[in-house]
Amino acid sequence: MGCEGYGAIARVYDKLNAEIDYETWAEFVERCFDRFLPTRPELVLDLACGTGSMTLPLARRGYDMIGVDGSAEMLAEAYARAEEIPGILWLLQDMRSFELYGTVGAITCCLDSLNYLLTLPDLQRCFACVHNYLDPNGLFLFDMNTPYKFQNVYGNNAYILEDELVWDEGGPTEERAAVFCGWQNHFDPATRICDFDLSLFEELENGSYRRSDEHQQERCYSMEEIRAALEAAHLELLGVWSDWQFSPVTETTERWYFCARAIKP
């Protein structure tokens, strides 16, 4: 299977997201474990794991990790990054219908991956699978882009993302290719779908640039919809915050961080 929008970008994904501090994010995950579980889990699933940006820090902290993603290209990057951390189980599966061998103590789903589910029934299917594969009281930690962000930050804006090389007198100090990404958004408030048109330019060894284009879509969900979908899946919402310091959400919060637990008979 393939995951639309995560083909060519997989090669440069980590360079474009290099500023995201996953180590601090992993600390937040562990603080949630300590706050809401009697003991830290042994086995953790990173859902929509992408290139393993959260899977790897958690594996280094000693958790047995499973990474599930719908893009073979993203998983190939994850597999290559995990060379010195053997034992991670990488599964190419859709997060709306994934299957594991048994239950896990916690599930993470990071960097607005759930916004890639474009309908409420798809979100509900995913939450039902999450509930199915969590231990009783197991934790589900995920984040979503907020309506404020779709309306006021993404809107109909265009951005250029660059992986800048550091130069000194002798030339670039690191041996890696430069990457530029042109990123054009269109948010439709009627459908609540945001279209992202990405054009990637990767520098090749001969100095020329390879262009590849990707189209991605995210769906904007309201807090009420997310709460109701969690409840319908028997996932009890324990908290929602605006950052990794457990700060309350405000009108201008751009990312909601949720923690829920599986209620099982």
Closest CA to 225 of 123, 128, 107, 109: 123
Residue among 113 and 185 whose Cβ is closer to ligand SAM: 113
Strands laid side by side in the 235-241 sheet: 89-92, 64-69, 43-47, 104-109, 134-145, 255-262, 235-241
Residues lying near ligand SAM in the complex (CB under 6 A): 3, 6, 48-50, 53-54, 69-71, 74, 94-96, 110-113, 116
Residue among 121 and 136 whose Cβ is closer to ligand SAM: 121
Q: How far is the CB of 114 from ligand SAM (least distance, A)?
A: 9
Residue reference for tokens 């807090």? 223
Q: How far is the CB of 113 from ligand SAM (least distance, A)?
A: 4
Q: How far is the CB of 216 from ligand SAM (least distance, A)?
A: 9
Q: How far is the CB of 117 from ligand SAM (least distance, A)?
A: 6
Residue reference for tokens 């800048």? 164
Residue among 74 and 230 whose Cβ is closer to ligand SAM: 74
Two tokens at 227? 């709460």
Closest CA to 244 of 29, 53, 17: 29
Between CA 159 and CA 141 the distance in angstroms is 29
Q: How far is the CB of 84 from ligand SAM (least distance, A)?
A: 19
Residue among 184 and 209 whose Cβ is closer to ligand SAM: 184
Q: How far is the CB of 194 from ligand SAM (least distance, A)?
A: 13
CB within 8 Å of 257: residues ≥ 6 apart: 28, 141, 142, 143, 240, 241, 242, 243, 244
Residue among 173 and 259 whose Cβ is closer to ligand SAM: 259
Residue among 161 and 263 whose Cβ is closer to ligand SAM: 161
Residue among 118 and 263 whose Cβ is closer to ligand SAM: 118
Q: How far is the CB of 101 from ligand SAM (least distance, A)?
A: 18
Closest CA to 130 of 153, 99, 85: 99
Q: How far is the CB of 91 from ligand SAM (least distance, A)?
A: 10
- CA 196 to chain centroid, in Å, comes to 16
Which residue of this chain has its Cβ atom nearest to ligand SAM in the complex? 50
Between CA 58 and CA 67 the distance in angstroms is 11
Between CA 11 and CA 254 the distance in angstroms is 27
Residue among 71 and 185 whose Cβ is closer to ligand SAM: 71
Between CA 240 and CA 242 the distance in angstroms is 7
